Chains A and B, each alone.
Chain A
Amino acid sequence: MRTAALPNLKKRMYPRMHQWIWMTTLPLLLLAAIVLAPLLTPQDPYLITVGDRLLAPSEAHLLGTDHLGRDLLSRIIAGIRTTVGTSLLILACSLLIGVTTGLLSGFIGGLWDRLFQRIIDAFMTLPDYIFAVILSGLLGPGLSNLLFAVIAVKWVGYARLARSVALQEKEQDYTALAVLAGVPKFRIVLRHILPHCLGNVLVLAALDLGKIILMIASLSYIGLGPQPPAAEWGSMLNEGQVYFTAAPHLMLAPGAALMLTVLAANLFGDKLRDRFDVKTREEA
């Protein structure tokens, strides 16, 4: 039975080699940037030099300096770690929690599933941004609270998707066969049902990355994110907006960094969707 199911699985669900390369380019690039960020900063992003405050871009400071004389380019590079790193961490945690709970709930069914469905409904009623603001506001500003609040909002989408796949695949003959053969439930979920939702979940995750980055940045912008002196693109915009007229570069650079990163993530997500979403591929 396993040998009969496997070729089918391999063909449809597991990405091929060149697809793996596609799928991992952007995450790897971002990871490299996150790991290497401290080595790439030309100057210390936290070094305060009050004499050099609000300098326009020059050779010494390629993007100028902020209101405390810190090098803006270095702070933006350091911000990769805070903004993008946090987003990737959030994405990974939400994926793990959402997919696990969703698959189990859908597969086990019964009372648990109904209860789970209620919980998901409750989470879906409040718009995610408002929910994240309330949660992180109540927990208090700070990076770890922000992390927790955004995960609390984001896991629901994956749980819903995984649950629907589990409900669908549960009805398939091969699942019934596996149950009859006495395969443990956990193993069925892991080996037979998980591969079916992996493609869709990864596409959803790629499309979500940009949204998570924007959410973190805007939460930090309204003051709920990491506290100074941490370098985060959203809070850098918040700090910079006071010096609007004197130093417009303080507003331009972090925003542009944010936009370009999200743009890259969105382009990547679109590409992935075109490659993996069965429906879109048939249309093309």
Chain B
Amino acid sequence: MWRSFGKKLLGLLVFVLFLSFISFCLLKLVPGDPVRSMLRVDDVAVSREDIADLRNELGLDRPLLVQYGAWLGKLLRLDFGVSYMTYRPVLGEFAEKLPFTLLLTGGSLLVMLVISVPLGALSAVYRNRWVDRFSRVFSLIGSSLPSFWLGLLLIQLLSVKLHLLPPMGGGSLAHLVLPSLTLGVAMSAIYVRLIRSSLLESGGQDFVASAKARGLHPARVFWFHTFRHSLVPLVTLLSESLGSLLGGTLVVEILFAYPGLGKWIVDAIVARDYPVIQGYILFISLCIVVLNLLVELSYRWIHPQLGWKGR
């Protein structure tokens, strides 16, 4: 099992490198010049020599392949280069911003689970009753709601009107509540329906009937047999939506001026900060690839029938 795992990991690493090459070329192809935006201070005219000097210093005048080779060579020593904007190492900046985004992701997952597991379970148990109808309307509206609008409304209600929570910034637990709520509510719209339908489906399976026939407590049957079995589609959807969750954090971070990865990358794009953009693309694609691998592993835990090959 570990052997096939390692093989897969290696293949994925090669793939990520390939992706980084493509993005490197794309970065150089699109219009825009980091040197100009670095040198532009209050519209003072910049001399041609200054531009040429800086281009030379940053190595931007060399051929594309040489530049990529240099980047790759540094990468092997875990050197992601230096940000053009702040003159600080990209890796350090990344390590500084990552916890914020991870906290936000965790917080919104928590909100999502807290809303959608009980609501989904209730609407499966009381099928076609008012709980079910409420959850249907909730998920319909939730999936049509622009998350940034929900965030704006939440700021208006909870921080401007009621003064309960800080509207902007990051750093404390209170700063985390509004962004997580914004993302979590939007996400739970899909999960409520998924959990409901998957619970209904696994509730009709033979092993549930047999567990009931053995006289197990209904609650035990529900949580340990029906619910556990319906975790598989849940984990699949979770893994698929982790990417879109990362994308979602981007808007929400800008909306709440939250100092995470999303705000960092948008600032970098505007300034054409190539090392940061390149590093970010590499990090994100690595994250997604590794997460997908982990999800595959977690299936084996949830779904014992699949088994651990070679154990």
Contact = CB atoms under 8 A, between A and B. Distances in A.
B133 to A, nearest CB: 15
Contacts of B247: 127-130, 133
Given A122-B19, A122-B22, A133-B269, A218 B145 contact: no
Contact of B147 (A127, A139, A218): A218
A116 B254 CA distance: 35
B140 to A, nearest CB: 7
B186 to A, nearest CB: 10
Interface size class of B (residues with CB under 8 A): 35 or more
A22 interface: no
Given A129-B250, A237-B152, A263-B141, A214 B269 contact: no
Contacts of A76: none
Given A222-B251, A241-B152, A258-B149, A130 B246 contact: yes
A72 to B, nearest CB: 15
Interface residues of A, number: 37
Contacts of A133: 247, 250, 265-266, 269
B140 A222 contact: no
Interface string A225-261: 0000000001001000100110010010001001110
Contacts of B143: 210, 266
B153 A138 contact: no
B156 to A, nearest CB: 6
Contacts of B140: 263, 266-267
Contacts of B146: 214, 217-218, 221, 234, 255, 258-259, 262
Contacts of B255: 221
B285 A126 contact: yes
B244 interface: yes
Contacts of B272: 138
Contacts of B149: 237, 251, 255, 258-259
A137 B244 contact: no
B27 A218 contact: no
A129 B289 contact: no
Given A222-B251, A245-B160, A255-B153, A138 B288 contact: no
B248 A129 contact: yes
Interface in B103-159: 140-141, 143-149, 152-153, 155-156
Contacts of A172: none
A251 B156 contact: yes
B243 A244 contact: no
A27 B212 CA distance: 50
A237 B18 contact: no
B191 to A, nearest CB: 16
A79 B259 CA distance: 31
B224 interface: no
Interface string B234-246: 0000000001101
A277 interface: no
Contacts of A259: 141, 144-146, 149
B144 A262 contact: yes
B19 A134 contact: no
Contacts of A260: 144
Interface string A111-136: 00000001001100111111001100
B301 interface: no
A255 B147 CA distance: 10
A140 B32 contact: yes
Contacts of A130: 243, 246-247, 250, 265, 284
A127 B244 contact: yes
A130 to B, nearest CB: 5
B30 interface: yes
B251 A137 contact: no
A127 B246 CA distance: 8
Interface in A254-284: 255, 258-260, 262-263, 265-267
A124 B195 CA distance: 25
B15 interface: yes
A221 B148 contact: yes
B152 A222 contact: no
B218 interface: no
Nearest to B143: A266
B159 to A, nearest CB: 10
A126 B288 contact: yes
Given A139-B31, A251-B153, A125 B285 contact: yes
A140 B33 CA distance: 12
23 contacts: A122-B15, A125-B289, A126-B285, A128-B243, A129-B247, A130-B247, A133-B250, A133-B266, A134-B281, A137-B266, A139-B31, A140-B31, A217-B148, A221-B148, A221-B251, A237-B152, A248-B156, A251-B149, A255-B152, A259-B145, A262-B144, A262-B146, A266-B143
Which 3 interchain pairs have the tightest Cβ spacing?
Answer: A129-B247, A127-B243, A137-B269
Given A138-B27, A258-B146, 20 more contacts: A118-B18, A126-B243, A129-B244, A129-B247, A130-B243, A130-B246, A130-B247, A133-B247, A133-B269, A137-B266, A138-B26, A138-B269, A217-B148, A218-B251, A222-B250, A234-B146, A237-B148, A255-B149, A255-B152, A266-B143
